[in-house]
Amino acid sequence: MADTTNVRDVPEPTNIAVLVDGDNAQPSLIEAVLAEAVKYGTTTVRRIYGDWTTPNMSGWKTALQNHAFQPEQQFRYTTGKNATDSALIIDAMDLLHSGRVDGFCIVSSDSDFTRLATRIREHGLFVMGIGEPKTPRAFVNACEVFVHTTNLADVPKTETVTEDNGDWTKVVRQAVVAAAREDGWAFLGAVGVLVRKLDPAFDPRSHGHRQLSALVKSRPALFRTRESKNEHNAAVIDVKLLD
pLDDT in tens, 143-195: 999 999 999 865 444 433 344 456 899 989 999 999 899 899 999 988 988 88
pTM for the structure as a whole: 0.75
The mean predicted confidence, pLDDT, of the chain is 84
Note the CATH architecture for domain 15-151.
3-Layer(aba) Sandwich (3.40)
Q: Give the pLDDT mean for 75-94.
A: 76
Which CA distances in Å does 43 have to 62, 138, 166, 177, 230? 19, 25, 32, 36, 34
pLDDT at residue 89 greater than cutoff 50? yes
pLDDT at residue 78 greater than cutoff 60? no
Res 9: pLDDT: 47
Res 53: pLDDT: 85
Domain with CATH 3.30.420.610 in the chain: 169-241
pLDDT at residue 33 greater than cutoff 90? yes
Res 39: pLDDT: 87
Using a pLDDT cut of 70, give the percent of the chain over it.
86
Res 142: pLDDT: 95
Domain with CATH 3.40.50.1010 in the chain: 15-151
Res 105: pLDDT: 97
Amino acid identity for residue 14 in this structure: T
pLDDT at residue 8 greater than cutoff 50? no
Q: Give the pLDDT mean for 73-81.
A: 60
Which CA distances in Å does 18 have to 33, 143, 174, 177, 194? 9, 14, 32, 35, 25
Q: Give the pLDDT mean for 72-94.
A: 77
Q: What is the pLDDT of residues 46-65, one digit of tens each?
A: 999 988 888 888 888 888 88
pLDDT at residue 81 greater than cutoff 80? no
Q: Give the pLDDT mean for 102-116.
A: 95
Which CA distances in Å does 65 have to 46, 61, 173, 225? 12, 7, 45, 47
Number of neighbouring beta carbons within 10 Å of residue 123: 10
Res 1: pLDDT: 39
Instruction: Give the 3-state secondary structure of the chain.
Output: CCCCCCCCCCCCCCEEEEEEEHHHCCHHHHHHHHHHHCCCCEEEEEEEEECCCCHHHHHHHHHHHHHCCEEEECCCCCCCCCHHHHHHHHHHHHHHHHCCCCEEEEECCCHHHHHHHHHHHHCCCEEEEEECCCCCHHHHHHCCEEEEHHHCCCCCCCCCCCCCCCCCHHHHHHHHHHHCCCCCCEEHHHHHHHHHHHCCCCCHHHHCCCCHHHHHHCCCCCEEEEEEECCCCCEEEEEEECC
pLDDT at residue 74 greater than cutoff 90? no
Note the CATH architecture for domain 169-241.
2-Layer Sandwich (3.30)
